[in-house]
Structure 1
């Protein structure tokens, strides 16, 4: 119904406005911002008690919909629209189901007067389903209040003269819009998105891509207990001045409830974080009770996400999960992929992790970027055991490892496996010309660790290890420089 040209009632945070009140409010926003804010606050205050009384019931309706009758589902959608979306969503659902009488009664039951006689108009009917009645408006005569044409026409020259889209991370993320970073559990996606948050806050580069510095709001809804350690680990490794422009929210937040979205937008504006990046980790935790496979529920989620981006003037990044079949990409309804300006997939294959851009409206997708989780010690706990967390260490080996022919047996296989174990536990990095952060081991350490693993006498182990390493280097599986071994 948002496409109809007829005047509509206005809903925000549960406040319902008449058309006259709406026009007055918009006029005040242009001429007297203080008075407009006062009017908005009064409306919000009036709506707060109603919202508190009906939130819990709307949530229970959402979680019980699989066992509900058709009539209960209609009532649930009515109430959820009233609580979460306002009269526009309410009227749209009335149209979809063609149940204007039932919706009118349900609205009255929950304290919102809405009669089906409230302005079904010819203009709105043109956009309604053929088997549904016209959408809700405000009761005013559209013919008596003609609206100007909403659509302007642009020429090729005008479009060509428009400025190019700007980036937040060049060739990866746009400055504005919606992006999704997704992957299976344990793939390291939350570590990767936190690493991205610090890179955007500090400026410079991220995984070799230029970054435009800005403020970042990180909404952490999963794994809050480990967040302090992750931040400490990053600053321990990269320096105590890192992340000066990041702010965090760890309180409960839902994209399904407009007052939560209102509060988030207000918080961002009050903090002066305009034109920055908002990260929501994870999408499922921010939409509890929604059916991710439902176009209606996913549409409501995306409306909230887009509103955050538009009102905060920046990019919204959603951390999400892949489905049971990882080859099918993002979990949930396909509208999420369609609405995204950029999508980053995070993968894990054994101990190897990587990310790649699977969708980009303006960049180049498909290139894979390997990384590893490196452990950082932060001190000891009350029992004297070490406290650790992880940071992201970029690697440049995903493509080269796939090209290399890995050993399948013999001494090379044993030596390669032992080298892998040592590299994963190594505290040394960047030795022998290795890239910064790349773990390394010395040849002598490898020889010692191979004793008892090769089917030869101990005095012949050094010779056999060196022969095996030479073969692995020639095959492109390992690099040996200045007595240090590391992976390509």
Structure 2
């Protein structure tokens, strides 16, 4: 290797065996280079630490997500009550009794009633180690987070003194209300929000549980960036069948959508039960709801729902029932087969069109679309309890 006379010794590289440039006599020790690496056999595996066994980790960030009106905050309050009493949460063992702080960026006015209802049903009316805060600062601002930390430590100290438990859960309700994010879909902002949440929980070894909305449908999962799900240690989903027009909600269930340990999937269905807390000035009862978990029934998400009929089948079924009353007659299939009560396809065309193209003015495009829809419905008849056949110049339709 040629060396220039003016070349400093520190820049002389040993290129033997094509190992690339490396300062001569400047290589750190092997132990220093391997700092931070782990090798199989260095230490035995340790079991994961849980707040709720096989459900929620003892610390980190878990997300409680779900549709609007499904019961997310009721679920969070029920979790806080179970952690405060040590009673199982949805049948899962509470590993450690801890206190809960709820940062209620929205809905703070409803918490007193909801917590009192939970106290009546789970703690025999005794105070629970639950605190809440309504005036939540902008948690997207790191300085605001730092200002909040000593207040959280004070809540922890008060819970140890008053209840003999540490502060182990910090609920943020909701993520969108507590973090003034410019764009929920921005991955960098999502990752920053997750870092700030860990800042809140790590000094106390507490789990941080933000409540977050789902997208327009449950299939879209957590609203916004996929970084929320990717960065969380666990995701609990509160699902329900909700009719957007009427506001009716049913088939509520709690599901484990993500965990770093164990198996994901449905946990249990639940309903909301009203607990009366008093009467108002008009003598009418007021109160709040609590969670009633249906542990003895399969979760709604495991119950296979029958597929919904397509619009052409719905129109065909309605048209058949309507026309059968006025035009139905007893005929023999193909002239000499079994006797059935049937109508001709021509007899149901007008009624099918009325039901399929409701409110549309008839033109050639609509007529062509109706003809194609009727053809698809007739082709699918055998799968929906109907039979068709042609004889004597007519196409007949009857129920199997």
Identify the TM-score tier after normalising by the shorter chain.
Answer: 0.5 to 0.7
Secondary structure of the 2:265 match is coil
Q: How many angstroms does 1:401 deviate by?
A: 9.3
1:207 aligns with 2:90: yes
Q: Which one of 259, 284, 289 corresponds to residue 360 of structure 1?
A: 259
CA contact (8 A) 2:269 2:293 kept: yes
> Which residue of the other structure, out of 292, 297, 300, is the alignment partner of 2:184?
292
Alignment partner of 2:76 out of 165, 189, 193: 193
The partner residue of 2:131 within 239, 242, 247 is 247
Q: Could you tell me the TM-score, scaled by structure 2's length?
A: 0.60
Q: 1:280 to 1:242 in 2, by over 3 A?
A: farther
Shift of 1:403: 4.8
**2 CA distance for matches of 1:403 and 1:167?**
29
1:127-138 matched pairs, under 5 angstroms = none
Map of 2:232 onto structure 1? 340
Aligned to 1:322: 214
Q: Tell me: CA distance 1:179–1:379, structure 2 relative to 1, closer, same or farther (3 Å).
A: same
| 1:172 equivalent in alignment to 2:55 | yes
* Corresponding residue for residue 146 of structure 2: 262
Task: Please give the per-residue CA displacement for 1:339-366, whole angstroms capped at 9, x wherever unaligned.
Answer: 1111011111242210100111113211
Q: 1:95-149, CA deviations, whole angstroms, 9 ceiling, x for partnerless residues?
A: xxxxxxxxxxxxxxxxxxxxxxxxxxxxxxxxxxxxxxxxxxxxxxxx9xxxx76
**Pair 1:365–1:242, CA change in 2 (3 A):** farther
Rounded to whole Å, the distance in 1 between the matches of 2:110 and 2:156 is 27
Q: Measure, in 2, the Cα distance between the counterparts of 1:400 and 1:184.
A: 15
* Counterpart pick for 2:279 among 374, 380, 384: 380
Is residue 198–residue 243 contact of structure 1 (8 Å, CA) maintained in 2? no
- Displacement after TM superposition at 1:240 (Å): 4.5
| Residues matched between the structures, number | 260
1:231 and 1:195 map into 2 onto residues whose CA distance is: 8
Q: Using the alignment, how far apart are the partners of 1:270 and 1:221 within structure 2? A: 20
**CA shift for structure 1 position 277:** 1.2
CA deviations on 1:315-354 (whole Å, 9 max, x unpaired) are 1111000012320211111111111111011111242210
Structure 1 residues 149, 195: CA separation in 2 closer, same or farther (over 3 Å shift)?
Answer: same
Distance in 2, Cα, partners of 1:402 & 1:333: 28
1:163 to 41, 46, 53: 46
- For the residue of structure 2 that corresponds to 1:369, the secondary structure is strand
Q: Which has the higher helix share?
A: 1
Task: Quote the residue 2:322 is aligned against.
Answer: none
Structure 1: 5+ residue stretches without partners: 1-142, 407-488
2:114 aligns with 230
* Cα shift at 1:243: 5.0
Q: 1: CA distance between counterparts of 2:47 and 2:300?
A: 35
SS at match of 1:276: strand
Residue aligning to 2:268: 369
Partners in 2 of 1:214 and 1:366 — Cα distance? 26
Q: Deviations over 1:47-105 (max 9, x none)?
A: xxxxxxxxxxxxxxxxxxxxxxxxxxxxxxxxxxxxxxxxxxxxxxxxxxxxxxxxxxx
**Alpha-carbon distance, 1:215 to partner:** 2.0
Question: Which structure has the bigger radius of gyration?
Answer: 2
Alignment RMSD (CA, Å): 2.5
1:142-166 Cα distance to aligned partner (Å, 9 max, x none): x9xxxx769422111124x253221
1:236-276 CA-to-partner distances (Å, cap 9, x unmatched) read 23345555322211112222112321132211223336561
Which position in structure 2 is the counterpart of 1:184? 67
283 and 165 in structure 1: CA distance in 2 versus 1, 3 angstrom threshold: same
2:108·2:133 contact (CA, 8 Å) conserved in 1? no
Alignment partner, residue 201 of structure 2: 309
Q: Do the aligned residues in 1 keep the contact of 2:66 with 2:237 (CA within 8 Å)?
A: yes
8 Å CA contact 2:64–2:210 kept in 1: the answer is yes
CA positional deviation for 1:398: 3.9
Task: For residue 324 of structure 1, give the secondary structure of its aligned residue in structure 2.
Answer: coil
| Uncovered stretches (5+) of structure 2, i.e. residues with no partner | 1-25, 27-31, 158-165, 242-248, 307-400
Three-state SS of the structure 2 residue aligned to 1:267 is: helix
Q: Specify which structure has the higher proportion of strand.
A: 2
2:72 and 2:299 map into 1 onto residues whose CA distance is 20
Closer, same or farther: CA 150–178 of 1 in aligned 2, 3 Å: farther
Q: Is the 8 A contact 1:179 1:343 kept in 2?
A: yes
Native 8 Å contact 1:352 1:371 kept in 2: yes
